[in-house]
Amino acid sequence: MSHEAENSAPPRTVYVVDDDPAMCHSLDWLIGSLGLEVQSFASAEEFLRALKPDRPGCLVTDVRMPGMSGLELQDTLARAGSLLSVVVVTGHADVPMAVRALRAGAVDFIEKPFNDQLLLDRVHEALEKSRRAWEAADRKRAVRALIGRLTPRERQVAALVVAGKPNKVIAAEINLSMKTVEVHRHNVMDKLEVASVSDLTRLLLEAE
């Protein structure tokens, strides 16, 4: 049985963080012209207060702003495990700054004034990257929920099965009868909805 996510991904939003009102307005209009939802913020702090965790989307952020910088915002989101993909735009670029942003996972580092189509292409790329991350996280949650059905003893048996140990060895190691190990093994496969040891192994690896 397939373990696809039951719920579709929530709406993807483009968040613009820039202390320049004219730039926010320009980006609102440009990105919104494609029918995408856009939310603008004058500071990183304001954005973080409004952000809902675990939401896919794209962040378009300036670098130099009062308070927290765009690169610091990027680091904060990464530490929090955010699913947002980041596009950095700035009028004060330098090579070390760009390298830092890209190494931290930014989709691109774009200098102002920028080409509108380039920015839109990067926003679409960021949204797609974020969507994939959301689907992977949702899949992992579903797998962990399946594993949560197992009893502690069933988890122990599952781990030994994946380690390649036959029922006889498992029975000796955890001081159970062969028949009991067989029952636990059957329950593991049934609860996790897998038909083979290879499927069980893949499922447990996905949960890590």
Cβ-based neighbours of 11, under 8 Å, separated by 6 or more: 37
pLDDT, tens digit (0-9, with 9 covering 90-100), for 64-89: 999 999 999 999 999 988 999 999 99
3-state DSSP call for residue 160? helix
pLDDT, tens digit (0-9, with 9 covering 90-100), for 191-208: 999 999 999 999 998 887
Cβ-based neighbours of 102, under 8 Å, separated by 6 or more: 108, 109
Edge-to-edge strands of the sheet including 13-17?
37-41, 13-17, 57-61, 84-90, 108-111
pLDDT at 185 over 70: yes
Please choose, from the candidates 76, 42, 79, 48, the residue with its C-alpha nearest in 3D space to the C-alpha of residue 62.
42
Average pLDDT over residues 140-148: 91
pLDDT of residue 55: 82
Cβ 192 vs Cβ 161: under 8 Å: no
pLDDT at 4 over 60: no
pLDDT, tens digit (0-9, with 9 covering 90-100), for 40-59: 999 999 999 998 877 889 99
Cβ 18 vs Cβ 24: under 8 Å: yes
Distances (CA, A) of 43 to 20, 64, 82: 10, 10, 18
Average pLDDT over residues 4-13: 59
3-state DSSP call for residue 84? strand
Q: Indicate the pLDDT class of residue 94, thresholds 50, 70 and 90.
A: confident
Chain-centroid distance of CA 195 in Å reads: 28
Distances (CA, A) of 132 to 82, 105, 135, 168, 185: 13, 14, 5, 42, 33
Q: Taking the model in full, what pTM does it have?
A: 0.76
pLDDT, tens digit (0-9, with 9 covering 90-100), for 100-128: 899 888 999 999 888 999 999 999 999 99
Mean pLDDT of the chain: 90
pLDDT of residue 8: 59
pLDDT of residue 6: 42
pLDDT at 183 over 90: yes
**Percentage of the chain surpassing pLDDT 90?**
72
Q: Indicate the pLDDT class of residue 5, thresholds 50, 70 and 90.
A: very low
In the chain, beta strands by DSSP E:
13-17, 37-41, 57-61, 84-90, 108-111
